[in-house]
Structure 1
Amino acid sequence: MNAEHKPSRSESITTFKARNMSLRSLQALCLASFFIADVRDGLGPFLGIFLTERHWQPDEVGFLMTAGGVAGLLATLPAGFITDTSKNKRALLAVLCVMITVSTLLIWFSQGDGIAAFSQIISGVCAAFVGPLITGITLGLTGQNGFSAQMGKNEAFNHAGNFLTALIGGGIAWYWGIDGIFLLMACTTVLTLCALLAIRNKDIDNNAARGLASSENQPIPSFSILTKNTALLVTGLTLLLFHLANAALLPMLSMRNAGITGAMNPGLYAAITVIISQAVMIPVALWVALRIERHGYWRLIMLALLLMPVRAAMAAATDTPLMMVPVQILDGVAAGILGVAVPGFIVKLLQGSGHVNAGQSVVMLMQGAGASLSPALTGTIAGRYSFSTAFSVLSVIALAALLVWWRYADLLMTHSAASPVKVVTD
């Protein structure tokens, strides 16, 4: 009778070291998610305030944001495929963070149309890579089974980073002025680079990062395979409509406040809106990671979609500064759910396909199309009519997203279970 094999002391030490190194990389990934929150979005809601104080009009700001969004949109598909093929995702992400920061600093020194457009285009292109790279690194470190739990942690740290930088940014804007936000971004970039250096590139399994088993080595499939996946395209269309309604809401709230005589300090107002939503997103992201197996991806995403039309309608109802509190609480709940549930749903949908990050990029392309058009649409309506009218239109668009997700419930729920599913092309 063969005795049960017991690992030798040397084998146990090797296993312990491997697990310890992997744990270190996961912890560093959480820190990178924390600091990169401020880097990826550039000035975020502070951009509109910065330019409004320099006599830019709402429609001009809207079209500038759209220029950056369109540039990011064009880079989205290449970002997914490059992530799938990259052997050093950590270094690539570090270079992109530096490029975002340098391009954003340009607009601090000159607000000319050409410089501002160049700044937003470069930032948009580089930011398009951040999502797929974070997803790829996470999947490469954890594999399929640990992905959703780690993404929940990533999102919680990301929202905590947004919360803290918004808190600090609001204080800086109140005490020194909006220009201090540029220095804050430079500091968080340095800290992001330090966290990325702590992730061991050897710990990232590049096959697992594509949704394959470690032993597999399949070539990346053609783009046509992704376009035939109906569930993937429905998800993308739903998120396109959602972000068309959502992307411009917070910047336009800040711009509406900035245009009201005697209203709250614009920089402080923008910071408070971010602080509220990010504070809510942290527990929501952790909660979603723990509840996916029980409720399924479809139901959780449906809940997030239900909140958007309510949020936009509340913004349209009144310009009272205090109204932004419930508006941003709802934003925190919806974003906290989608930040964890959407990447996890796509990983489940494309498991074993070898093109998980390319599939993520397809959905990001579609939601990016909505996000890039949102500022121009909202800014135009607000400029010609009113902010209230613009927010009402956003509420209608959000209802359309909800209806699309509901219409294809049977197809999507097939793939929303926690157990692995095969790639389908219904």
Structure 2
Amino acid sequence: MSKHIKGATVNKKIIWPLQSLNFFMADLQAGVGPFLGIFLLAHGWKSGLIGSVMTIGGVAGMIMTIPAGALIDATKRKRFYVVISAVFTILASCVILFSQEFWVVSISLVATAIAGSVIGPAIIGITLGIVKQKGFNRQNGNNQAFNHAGNVLGSAFSGYLGYKFGMTAIFLLSAFFGVLSIISVLMIPAKSIDDNAARGMKEGGEDDKASGFKVLFQCKPLLVLAGALAFFHLGNGAMLPLYGLAAAAKNQENASVFVSMTIIIAQLVMIGASLLAIRMSEKSGYWLVLLISFISLPIRGLIAAHMASHIGIYPVQILDGIGAGLQSVAVPGLVAHILNGTGRVNIGQGAVMTVQGLGASFSPAIGGWIAQEIGYNSTFMILGGFAIGSILLWVLFAKTIRAVC
């Protein structure tokens, strides 16, 4: 039986393993991260040091995104790199259970970030290789919906297991999802992945050996996109972990349950936002989709500053879901569209993610130290304000972006 995807007909036996990979990989990549702050807080860490160690991992991931994209463009063994990355993520996460020393936690987060920098481009490349450019927007949107659904399930289980059995159970659950991710990717037939299509190369096209930053700086729309995302994630990166710490500091009934609820609410909204982004991008292009995502952060920061409670998590995390859900479809789709025919789609994705990661990696450290000095409420306002830079860039260069959409 086959499935029609906007210009491409693909066997369902290939699509379902791809979607299950996105489902199970979600908890492996994000399941432990949001709970790490309260885990370290319980072991005597302060918010500034927690933010700093998260930044170390973020910087490592940022540095590796372009080499990871280049690797995925070049390799014909994309499934293998997903498997290796999953194994390293499982091992690196479990190390923290045995030692909470600063350098042990730092090395663990660095290893996890490096592995994560490979997984993202690999899944995008596998998807492009299966459904080609014509089917990518819709299939990527479906992938993201499954990814967010996986986060919902993983977070629900994490909150329950953390409440009943402690943080160790959350780490073990993430490892279990990692094993299921490995099984899923191995169920995708290697021959179903067109390696030229996976890197955005047209049939008979010549290989472009340009580096990631050369690809980025030679393309004004990509540069504007990367800059806008950097501003956004400079504010967004610290918002969720600090919101969890704010709840723990106010002695919420159970911090792991509170953090679990923040993730579940956001991820449920992301499922709908991902599917909506498919329709919006097909009808109006990616510019409007991304503008809405940028606007969501200042509003979110304003609400978080005044409602760090069990009531406040609903509007705060609904807005998180809108922003992240729209971007999860629009960013890879726009990059793949701009670089179609160059053979450098994944290295371009890596270049954009590197600049975006520059903001995301420094956000926890900036947010953590600001919160430690002036309190959480003012910090949320400041973090939300960073997205004003994104909005200004996006509006000023609207003509340039709309032209390529």
1:388 aligns with 2:372: no
Question: Residues 149 and 21 from structure 1, CA distance in 2 versus in 1: closer, same or farther, beyond 3 angstroms?
Answer: closer
Secondary structure of residue in 2 paired with 1:144: helix
1:403 aligns with 2:397: no
* Corresponding residue for residue 353 of structure 2: 364
* Equivalent residue for 2:227, pick from 219, 237, 243: 237
* Equivalent residue for 1:69, pick from 58, 65, 78: 58
Deviation larger for 207-216 or 72-81: 207-216
* Equivalent residue for 2:236, pick from 225, 246, 261: 246
Q: Deviations over 1:3-54 (max 9, x none)?
A: xxxxxxxxxxxxxxxx998432221110000000011235121000110011
Whole-Å Cα distance in 1 between the matches of residues 67 and 306 of structure 2?
41
* Equivalent residue for 1:373, pick from 341, 344, 362: 362
Letter in 1 for 2:262: T
Letter in 2 for 1:230: K
Secondary structure of residue in 2 paired with 1:92: helix
Secondary structure of residue in 1 paired with 2:268: helix
* Corresponding residue for residue 108 of structure 1: 97
Secondary structure of residue in 2 paired with 1:146: helix
Please say if residues 208 and 344 of structure 2, whose CA atoms lie closer than 8 Å, have aligned partners that are also in contact: no
* Equivalent residue for 1:171, pick from 144, 155, 160: 160
* Corresponding residue for residue 122 of structure 1: 111
Whole-Å Cα distance in 1 between the matches of residues 13 and 74 of structure 2?
24
Whole-Å Cα distance in 2 between the matches of residues 75 and 27 of structure 1?
29
1:204 aligns with 2:193: yes
Whole-Å Cα distance in 2 between the matches of residues 400 and 185 of structure 1?
35
Please say if residues 242 and 370 of structure 1, whose CA atoms lie closer than 8 Å, have aligned partners that are also in contact: yes
* Corresponding residue for residue 13 of structure 1: none
Letter in 1 for 2:292: L
Whole-Å Cα distance in 2 between the matches of residues 241 and 320 of structure 1?
27
Letter in 1 for 2:230: L
Whole-Å Cα distance in 1 between the matches of residues 227 and 69 of structure 2?
18
Deviation larger for 267-276 or 36-45: 36-45
Task: Give, in angstroms, the shift of residue 396 of structure 1.
Answer: 1.4
Whole-Å Cα distance in 2 between the matches of residues 305 and 133 of structure 1?
26
1:286 aligns with 2:279: no
Secondary structure of residue in 2 paired with 1:111: coil
**Rg bigger for which structure?**
1
Letter in 2 for 1:210: R
1:325 aligns with 2:314: yes
Whole-Å Cα distance in 2 between the matches of residues 222 and 371 of structure 1?
22
Whole-Å Cα distance in 2 between the matches of residues 250 and 225 of structure 1?
32
Whole-Å Cα distance in 2 between the matches of residues 297 and 228 of structure 1?
20
Secondary structure of residue in 1 paired with 2:45: coil
Whole-Å Cα distance in 1 between the matches of residues 206 and 127 of structure 2?
19
* Corresponding residue for residue 39 of structure 2: 50
Task: Give, in angstroms, the shift of residue 278 of structure 1.
Answer: 0.6
Task: Give, in angstroms, the shift of residue 214 of structure 1.
Answer: 3.8
Number of residue pairs matched by the alignment = 397
**TM-score, normalization: structure 2?**
0.95
Which runs of 5 or more residues in structure 1 are unaligned? 1-18, 417-426
* Corresponding residue for residue 25 of structure 2: 36
Question: Residues 387 and 398 from structure 1, CA distance in 2 versus in 1: closer, same or farther, beyond 3 angstroms?
Answer: same
Whole-Å Cα distance in 2 between the matches of residues 225 and 359 of structure 1?
6
* Equivalent residue for 1:99, pick from 88, 101, 104: 88
Please say if residues 10 and 130 of structure 2, whose CA atoms lie closer than 8 Å, have aligned partners that are also in contact: no
- 1:263-282 equivalence runs, <5 A: 263-282=252-271
Question: Residues 335 and 348 from structure 1, CA distance in 2 versus in 1: closer, same or farther, beyond 3 angstroms?
Answer: same
Please say if residues 41 and 127 of structure 1, whose CA atoms lie closer than 8 Å, have aligned partners that are also in contact: no
Please say if residues 221 and 354 of structure 1, whose CA atoms lie closer than 8 Å, have aligned partners that are also in contact: no
Please say if residues 92 and 108 of structure 2, whose CA atoms lie closer than 8 Å, have aligned partners that are also in contact: yes
Whole-Å Cα distance in 2 between the matches of residues 20 and 193 of structure 1?
25
Whole-Å Cα distance in 2 between the matches of residues 54 and 333 of structure 1?
33
Letter in 2 for 1:137: I
* Corresponding residue for residue 217 of structure 2: 227
Task: Give, in angstroms, the shift of residue 216 of structure 1.
Answer: 3.4
* Corresponding residue for residue 3 of structure 2: none
Letter in 1 for 2:219: N
- 1:146-185 equivalence runs, <5 A: 146-185=135-174
Which runs of 5 or more residues in structure 2 are unaligned? 1-7
**TM-score, normalization: structure 1?**
0.91
Task: Give, in angstroms, the shift of residue 291 of structure 1.
Answer: 2.7
Whole-Å Cα distance in 2 between the matches of residues 225 and 307 of structure 1?
29
Whole-Å Cα distance in 2 between the matches of residues 395 and 348 of structure 1?
29
Please say if residues 31 and 155 of structure 2, whose CA atoms lie closer than 8 Å, have aligned partners that are also in contact: no
Secondary structure of residue in 2 paired with 1:68: helix
Whole-Å Cα distance in 1 between the matches of residues 392 and 152 of structure 2?
32
Whole-Å Cα distance in 2 between the matches of residues 352 and 250 of structure 1?
38
Please say if residues 156 and 264 of structure 2, whose CA atoms lie closer than 8 Å, have aligned partners that are also in contact: yes
